[in-house]
Each structure stands twice: as structure tokens, then as C-alpha cells.
Amino acid sequence: MTKKRVLITGAAGFLGSHLCDYFLAKNCEVLAIDNLITGNMKNIEHLMENADFTFYNHDVSNYVHVPGDLDYIMHFASPASPIDYLKIPIQTLKVGSLGTHNLLGLAKAKNARMLIASTSEVYGDPLVHPQTEDYWGNVNPIGPRGVYDEAKRFQEAITMAYHRFHGVETRIVRIFNTYGPRMRLNDGRVLPAFIGQALREEPMTIFGDGSQTRSFCYVSDLIEGIFRLLLSDYAYPINIGNPNEITIKQFAEEITKLTDSKSGIIYHPLPQDDPMQRQPNIDKAREILCWEPKVDRAEGLKITFDYFKTLTAEDLNKVEHNDFTKYNKY
């Protein structure tokens, strides 16, 4: 039987690298694309000798050529942390718009099914709680975070247009907060920030009073949900996340206990447009995909903490991720 050929963009990132592992384990041929603006080759270096894995260093905001047939396209290329998309706002908008357009054109030409990684950020600072897929959101399109939110909202719109107008097979996953090994320690998101501060014996930083909520899904659960969506017949957005909600203050206390940190907590003002609540309604995922998260937060946090403990002192103390100067000329 011929192996399925899968193109994964953002393949050297957190989620993209786990997708590469998953599809290779499913006996697929994986074509991986990443321009390494935020991705890291360390996430996929263990795959480089695999005969079914091919890596291309390329920016999908430019024309994408892939020789041969394609069965699936998984579009996961995008800066995904506030630190990144505040520093490279134009690239964030381009990969969500031009990149998505290029890949939808490729899907149309190859008669491939394309799944796009959307986000709970399309809901903005939601006025509906928990968030269902039919909620249109509360987004500030011109705020500093708007470059990410609106890139993803446009991505969904053009994907549905290609599905309706050209008949392209498409799937849309709205991803909620996800964690696990290969997260970047310095990406500004709350979980790696807290664990990094604990490992460096620094106080944990809470923005606001800590009453804002998040819901954390372990990465293996998320990847399984994404795969089930890809193979389903459902073309509309589906939330994939863990509905087990927790306040940031409670979360800091959990990390303190896990890491045995003695450094305490400090408070800073809340950034502009930071959502106060984030919790998925996953009724559709349960009904259509027969999916729900399995990994308990305590279990997932321990695995993640053990991963971060293996980092070198250099990685642990690295403040800046990348020098974005060369990317900010255009």
C-alpha cells in the first residue's frame, strides 16, 4: 500500500514537531517546512535520518512548490506567542494570509486535504463563557495582539472560501492553550514562564491579579484530536482543548508545589487586550470526533517539568529567542 504523503508547515515548532512524530509513527511520508524564524532544529533533529522524513527550510509566505502527490497539508506555521508576534507583527500577518493562500492553492492543485491551525485567540477577550464554535468573538483588530488574532480569523475565512468556491477539502482546528515537551522556555506563555522562573529560582510573575483563567491541554491529547479531525468529514471549526479551567494564581501555586520553588510570586500590570477567560466548549469534538482529553494536568505538568530540567544552563538562562532583525526589513 502506498504511504500517505503529508506536508507539515511550522514543522520545527512545538506542535509541528509533535505532528511530524505522530505521522511518521502512522507510517506516513512527512515533508516538513519551516523557515526557523521561531522554530528550532533541535525539535526535529532526531528525525533527520528517517528515510520517510524530508526537511525544507522555506518561508511559506512565498510560493510553495512540492514535487509529487500530496494527501494532506497541515498548516501550523506561525509565531504563536505574544513575545514573538509583537516583535514580528508583519511576518505573523503574512504567514496567516499569504502563507495560507499559497498552501490552499497547493491543496487545490494536488487535490489534497488541508487542515489549518486556528486558535482560541479568534474569540479575543470573550464575552461568552465557555467558548463555543458559533461565538464570533470580541477582538480588537488594531491592538498589538490583533496581528495574531486577525491573521487567524482571515485564515479561517479564506479556508472556508476555498472550500465553498473551489471544493477544496479543508479542516479547521481552534487550538486552546497546549503544553508539553519542546515548548520554548522563553516564549512568554504562562506555563514555560512559571517553570523557567522556578528553575532559575526567580519569583513567578503574574500579570494582573491572577484571577484570569486558562485551560491547559497536554500535547499528546491535542495531536490525537487534530488527527481525528483531519480524518473526519467535518469542514467547520472545532475547538480542541481541555475544558478544565484554572486561574493563573492557582496555576502558579500548582507550579510552586511541583517545583518546590521558594521564590514567591510578584505581580505586574495586565498587558493590553489580554483575555480574562479562556475555556473551550468541546461538545462538538466529543460528538463528532469522539475525542476528549485524557492526560490529567498533574501528570502532564510532571512530564513537562522533567523535560525542562534536561535543558542546558545556556537554554535555561536564554532571554531572547531569535534575532529578528533580518526579518523586519519588509
List 22, 85, 123, 148, catalytic entry = 148
Check: CB of residue 179 under 8 Å from CB of residue 300: yes
Check: CB of residue 280 under 8 Å from CB of residue 119: no
Dihedral sign, Cα of residue 181, residue 187, residue 190, residue 196? positive
d(Cα 201, Cα 266) in Å, to the nearest integer? 13
d(Cα 20, Cα 41) in Å, to the nearest integer? 13
72 catalytic, yes or no?
A: no
**252, β-bridge pairs:** none
Strands 113-119, 170-175: pairing kind: parallel
Which three cell numbers mark 11?
A: 514543522
Active site residue ranges: 148
